[in-house]
Amino acid sequence: MLNFNTGGGSFTPYINYMASIQGWEMSGDDGKQNFTFKQAVFDLNSIQTGWQRWPEGGTPEWIMDQSVEIPAPKPEGEGWKRGFKCRVFSKSMFGDDSVREWATAGTGATMGMAALYSAYIKDKHAGKLPVVEFQGGVGTKVGKGTTSVPTLVITKWIDPPEELSVVEEVSAVPSLAATQAPDDGLGNSDEDDEF
């Protein structure tokens, strides 16, 4: 197995939702490894959207939008899909690489992120970031096939962890409807939680 995480350069530790098994993987010193996603802080203030293409045998190419409200024109050529990049923080799940990037154009993942982002915009707390819990995948028919959409639910809001230095906030109204757990004190933050 090729391992490009040599500890130097500009490699960004990542996580990825695998629709085929309704589970998660992350980069590690020994390559990809599965992990159980519980909850993490999602830096939705600085989420980026754009076009992604993954050439066979290559690495993903991205053309980012000017903002989440102003999409870039669809690039010429085949294989371009809409996707996103979002920083996710958890010391308990990710260890020393506590800030990871979730960057994908997978259909199920983008549907799950669109629902999460809608919930984020609907109940946004100024100066706070959402703690997000993964509540499993839901098999969903898309076109002539199926995928699994991750259920991502905001459980509370906290001050941004120091590791997620605040980046300029984005604002947008996603096109997909939001799903969110009932409001049961989501505005209360418990800064002592370890993510």
Q: Is residue 82 part of a domain?
A: yes
Q: Is residue 92 part of a domain?
A: yes
Q: Is residue 23 part of a domain?
A: no
Count of structural domains within the chain: 1
pLDDT of 182 higher than 60:
no
Q: Is residue 120 part of a domain?
A: yes
Average pLDDT of the residues in 16-36: 95
Q: What is the pLDDT of residues 38-69, one digit of tens each?
A: 999 999 999 999 999 998 888 899 999 999 99
Report which of residues 37 and 176 the model is more confident about: 37
Q: Is residue 28 part of a domain?
A: no
Q: What is the CA radius of gyration of the chain?
A: 16
Strand partners, 145: 142
Residue 166: per-residue pLDDT: 45
Strand partners, 101: 14, 87
- CA distance linking residue 90 with residue 99, whole number of Å: 7
Q: Is residue 104 part of a domain?
A: yes
Structure tokens at 75: 């690039």
Confidence band of 194 (pLDDT split at 50, 70, 90): low
Q: Is residue 22 part of a domain?
A: no
Confidence band of 195 (pLDDT split at 50, 70, 90): low
Note down the domain range covering 100.
37-158
Strand partners, 129: 158
Q: Is residue 94 part of a domain?
A: yes
